[in-house]
Structure 1
Amino acid sequence: MNANKVVLIGAGMVGAATLNSILMLNLVSELVVIDQNVQRAQGEVMDASHTTAFAYSSGANIRVGTYADCKDARIIVMTAGPSIKPGEKMDRQILAQQNAGIMTQVMSEITKYTQDAIIITVTNPVDVVTYLAKTRANYPGNKIFGTGTLLDTARMRQIIAQQVGVDSKNVHGYVLGEHGNSAFIPWNLVDIAGVPVDQLDRAFHMKAPIDKEKVFEGTKSAGFDIIQLKGYTSSGIAMSVCRLIKAIILDERSILPISVVLDGHYDTKNVALSVPCVVGKNGAEHILEVPLTSEERRQFKQCAQNLTDILGKIS
């Protein structure tokens, strides 16, 4: 295995943004792009390769490849498949049947060459895709997970930081459950410098307390708002992938909310949902069971039921 080799599957808008963001990490020595549209992949690789001459970018070997390149890859990032477009129903689950088929084909190719690489799924609906990728290919559970609510969490933290007037990296807390309409925020886990969310107005001399409903609605609608404005989302999800790659390559053991297949965790099985996980050199190394209120557990169960219903309709 090449410890610093990443294979990126999909050279669309998200794939291209991810390609450039990975290069800016300065952690990767080899980056291989695979796409059924070889010309598109070649164009993205050529364009990205021109950044390596600048001081801020790594001198990585960037090239177009095939699934055989997965054989010695450390990390494989899956972004292939269509996304929601402006004018379409704003529900990631409408992509389920088509992208489930794409993921099955991709996993059949990957597993010809490896079951050692860590696979990060980005394709939506990411929870459905992650579950099917893991179970249909019988891939090691710790080595395959989705970006899940990592981006939702970043959006939530940024919205709260704006209201309080602090750096968003100082906001702690998670969006959990489905990367979709039934996601929820466990508010008892949200704080800034140890100050609980309900006390932020006093601690930071705010005119009014944090409007939890406004934060939640802004978090849920952010992705769809971006799609309506520019046609697609790319920057935020690309940085989410990079956050995971960095945690793996540097063995950071960072706690991040990612979509993993649950096997009794939170009294839930046979579905992939986002929960806080320790992410390090071996992938999702430990699933944390954080304290949830009875209402939050109900919301978690609702997320699981929604996804179970969708999985039952996929052939």
Structure 2
Amino acid sequence: MRKYAIIGVGHVGATIAYTLVCKGIADELVLIDTNVGKARAEQLDLQDAQARLDSRTIIKINDYQELADTDILFITSGNIHALDHASGNRWAEFEYTQHIVQAIAPQVKATGFNGVVIDTMNPCDAITHYFQRATGLSRQQVFGTGTFLDTARMQKVVAEVFNCDPKNISGYVYGEHGESQFSAWSTVQVNGIPITTLVDQYHLDLDELEAEARHGGWAVHSGKGYTSFAIATCAVKLSEAVLADARLACPVSAYNETFGTYVGQPAIIGKHGVEQVTKLALTATEQAKFQNSAKTIIEKFHAFDEALGLESADERQQA
């Protein structure tokens, strides 16, 4: 029995639900949203599709107690309109998503949920960290989509230059799921060939490619008012890696012991969530960018803590 739950059935949550049901990935699916009418409507719409699918999914709504035996929990709530005038700043949602976590974390914790949590909420790294801390779940169990999507955008941009399939582009985008992220070009290969050896031959401007990939989400948002398909695809793929214990090597927002924060980095995803964080040999410039991105997340996260009169578990231990 593969049991999934989604908290927040807006654009992303509903797309994840549709994907899980249509692909026959979930045997049971729980939809939770403060807008009961929306949750009920999504349930009915998905149930109406069942007679035309080759699989069957039991769909329930708005019952936190169902999380007690849930395998995968997606947290996808947010206020997308906060980004309408944010000029590329995902932190604009933090004012809203921090309060959402304050509301849902105690309810999740009360159920005894002990599965794996995949966060898509923005700002992804900070919210993932806050949710993990608020629920008391392990850092292994809780991770965010992070730069998994940003890496896919980098793969698309590079693939277009070389007229190849994006899956033939390997490598990673590191750091914040936000403006301080960066493409670690030392890790990127095109059809197995390091991209750094192709710069002169193809007259590549790596800074320009990086900027195009970083702003890809905003190009989508400016056209349709939100993003949904790509991030939902990333979230579902990560969940499948967990249930299959695939030990998938990919970038996610995972806790970094060195920096003391969740941040986008390569990791191995398996049945327990983040099985391990992969440390690759970055160039000195890339390492500096990685440290700077983590610092950006920490500073903004601590500012949030101070505003609420909170302190981190690490700070309490030090005291």
What's 2:236 paired with? Answer: 242
Q: How does 1:186-265 map to 2 (within 5 A)?
A: 186-200=184-198, 208-264=202-258
Matched, 1:306 2:302: no
- Contact 1:179–1:274 (CA under 8 A) maintained in structure 2: yes
Deviation at 1:104, TM superposition (A): 2.5
What SS does the corresponding residue of 2:110 show, helix, strand or coil?
A: coil
Deviation at 1:59, TM superposition (A): 1.1
What's 1:75 paired with? Answer: 72
What SS does the corresponding residue of 1:58 show, helix, strand or coil?
A: coil
What SS does the corresponding residue of 1:140 show, helix, strand or coil?
A: coil
Deviation at 1:303, TM superposition (A): 0.8
- Contact 1:115–1:140 (CA under 8 A) maintained in structure 2: no
Deviation at 1:146, TM superposition (A): 0.5
What are the ranges of 5 or more consecutive residues in structure 2 without an aligned counterpart?
309-319
What are the ranges of 5 or more consecutive residues in structure 1 without an aligned counterpart?
none
- Contact 1:130–1:261 (CA under 8 A) maintained in structure 2: no
The residue identity in structure 1 corresponding to 2:148 is L
Deviation at 1:53, TM superposition (A): 2.3
What's 1:281 paired with? Answer: 271
- Contact 2:93–2:123 (CA under 8 A) maintained in structure 1: yes
- Contact 2:70–2:113 (CA under 8 A) maintained in structure 1: no
What's 1:64 paired with? Answer: 61
- Contact 1:197–1:210 (CA under 8 A) maintained in structure 2: no
What's 1:37 paired with? Answer: 35
Distance in 2, matches of 1:192 and 1:25, equals: 30
The residue identity in structure 1 corresponding to 2:280 is V
Q: 130-139 or 246-255: which moved more?
A: 130-139
Distance in 1, matches of 2:279 and 2:86, equals: 36
Aligned length: 304
Return the match for 2:127 from 129, 148, 171: 129
- Contact 2:3–2:29 (CA under 8 A) maintained in structure 1: yes
Distance in 1, matches of 2:44 and 2:204, equals: 46
Deviation at 1:115, TM superposition (A): 4.2
Distance in 2, matches of 1:231 and 1:282, equals: 35
Distance in 2, matches of 1:45 and 1:163, equals: 42
Query: Structure 1 vs Structure 2: percent identity of aligned residues?
Result: 28
Distance in 2, matches of 1:16 and 1:33, equals: 9
- Contact 1:256–1:278 (CA under 8 A) maintained in structure 2: yes
Return the match for 1:50 from 45, 48, 51: 48
- Contact 1:127–1:146 (CA under 8 A) maintained in structure 2: yes
Deviation at 1:193, TM superposition (A): 3.0
Matched, 1:138 2:132: no
Deviation at 1:72, TM superposition (A): 0.4
Superimposed CA distance per residue, residues 262-284 of structure 1 (whole angstroms, 9 cap, x where no aligned partner)? 222xxx22x11011111011111
- Contact 1:147–1:259 (CA under 8 A) maintained in structure 2: yes
TM-score, normalised to structure 1, is 0.92
Distance in 2, matches of 1:135 and 1:284, equals: 16
Q: RCO higher in 1 or 2 (8 Å CA, sep ≥ 6)?
A: 1
- Contact 2:39–2:62 (CA under 8 A) maintained in structure 1: no
The residue identity in structure 1 corresponding to 2:216 is A
Return the match for 2:282 from 279, 285, 292: 292
The residue identity in structure 2 corresponding to 1:140 is S
Return the match for 2:7 from 2, 6, 9: 9
Deviation at 1:134, TM superposition (A): 1.3
